[in-house]
Amino acid sequence: MTAPRPVTINDVAARAGVAPSTVSRALSEPGRGNPATRERIRAIARELNYVPNSQAQALSSGRTGTIALLVSDVTNPFYFGIIRGTQQMSKAAGLAEVLIDTEDSPDLEGDMLRKMRRSLDGAILASSRLSERALIRLAGEIPLVTINRNVRGLPSVVIDSPDGIAQAVEHLVSLGHRDIVYVSGPETSWSNQARWHAMRKAAAKHGLEFRRVGPFARGRSSGTAAADAVLNSGATACVVFNDLLAIGLLTRLAERGVAVPGRLSVVGCDDIFGADFCHPPLTTLSGPAEQAGRAAVSLLLGRLGDPRAPAARRAVLLPTHLTVRESTGPA
């Protein structure tokens, strides 16, 4: 029952009658070395069930083969698609991926990043809460890519909700709504800013007054206050910062016996898990989250000088579209 010593590169080398360095090359330098010996070595490695020790590889090569994905809250379904996408892509690139929950705290986010920078080749920040300053400084220590956050000089992927917001306003206007209010998320949220700007622009285009209520916290529980505020505003329709908040709002509306969409139309953002089966099913902005995840890893690979990466674009903008369900109707 003694654990047998794991097989090392030396075992393979001995068995093949070559030097360890030759094995190293045969295994991890595609084009080089004699093809015949390389195949022989690979066969032996497979036969011996050799698995390279990644710590040792990292220590001597400087590349850890690991990236991190930082999210503000693992249990926020908004990240589902992004997580999927990054995992797909990093698996395809042979990278390990660590998922880190920053608990919505910029301090924790920074600490984690600093503490782990030595064991990571790079990191993807999905909805970073860090200040622009902090981000730029950290980017000097470890390759960074952001998602839904645009910082000068940092490669980023943004799901372009402004585009979708315009569609949403169009949709509401065509249903006869003239009084549309934006339900704001946290002031510090980059996405919230972007969405509010888009809202204003779209409203102006249609000659509507632009108003907002809030700011409200991201969570479902803020929906209560949000619903009351919207009702109070007298608007006939609202566009909500995100689906979590929108679903909370719907719940409160049901409690108060307010008909949706009869008395109030509601549009969410993100099309998260649940948006299609809440009551009523939510009209919302859908975006290619998985694709965003994949794109982020691609950009990171680019930053790492990986040849497998596509041409390094600095910023990727992904389109959103409106998914109409049952929470919107005639004014």
Partner DNA sequence: CTGAAAGCGCTAACAA
Partner DNA sequence: TTGTTAGCGCTTTCAG
Binding region for a second copy (CB under 8 A) out of 81-89, 194-202, 307-315, 317-325: 81-89
- 21 lines the binding site for DNA (CB under 7 A): yes
39, 46, 47, 59: which one contacts DNA (CB under 7 A)? 59
Q: Could you tell me the smallest distance in angstroms from the CB atom of residue 45 to DNA?
A: 10
- 64 lines the binding site for DNA (CB under 7 A): no
22, 72, 87, 148: which one contacts a second copy (CB under 8 A)? 87
In the chain, the N- to C-terminal Cα span, in Å, equals: 74
Whole-angstrom distance, CA of residue 255 vs CA of residue 139? 47
3-state SS class at 1? coil
Binding region for DNA (CB under 7 A) out of 53-61, 93-101, 122-130, 276-284: 53-61
Q: Choose among a second copy, DNA, none what residue 131 binds, the Cβ cut-off being 5 to 8 Å by kind.
A: none
Whole-angstrom distance, CA of residue 233 vs CA of residue 289? 33
The residues facing 126 across adjacent strands are 147
Q: Please list, residue by residue across 119-145, b when 16 or more beta carbons sit within 10 angstroms of its beta carbon and e when fewer do.
A: ebbbbbbbbbbbeeebbeebbeebbbb
Judged by CB, which is closer to a second copy: 14, or 108? 108
- 193 lines the binding site for DNA (CB under 7 A): no
Count of residues that bind a second copy according to CB under 8 A: 40
- In Å, how far are 3, 129, 264, 298 from 87, measured between CA atoms? 32, 22, 39, 12
Judged by CB, which is closer to DNA: 9, or 151? 9
DSSP for 199-241, written as a single string: HHHHHHHTT---EEE----SSGGGHHHHHHHHHHHT-SEEEES
10, 34, 53, 131: which one contacts a second copy (CB under 8 A)? 53
Judged by CB, which is closer to a second copy: 59, or 315? 59
Whole-angstrom distance, CA of residue 183 vs CA of residue 232? 12
CA dihedral 59, 61, 62, 64 (to 10 degrees): -80
- 24 lines the binding site for DNA (CB under 7 A): yes
Q: Could you tell me the smallest distance in angstroms from the CB atom of residue 32 to DNA?
A: 5
14, 42, 48, 57: which one contacts DNA (CB under 7 A)? 57
Whole-angstrom distance, CA of residue 211 vs CA of residue 213? 7
- 197 lines the binding site for DNA (CB under 7 A): no
Binding region for a second copy (CB under 8 A) out of 23-31, 172-180, 193-201, 243-251: 243-251
Polymer length in residues for the chain: 331
Binding region for a second copy (CB under 8 A) out of 29-37, 52-60, 200-208, 229-237: 52-60
Whole-angstrom distance, CA of residue 13 vs CA of residue 318? 49
- 176 lines the binding site for DNA (CB under 7 A): no
The residues facing 100 across adjacent strands are 70
Residues contributing to the site for DNA (CB under 7 A): 5-6, 8-10, 17-22, 24-25, 27-28, 32-34, 37-38, 50, 52-53, 56-57, 59-62
Which spans of this chain sit near a second copy (rule: CB under 8 A)? Answer: 3, 6, 51-56, 58-59, 64, 74-75, 77, 80-81, 83-84, 87, 96-99, 101, 114-119, 140-141, 247, 250-251, 273-274, 277-279
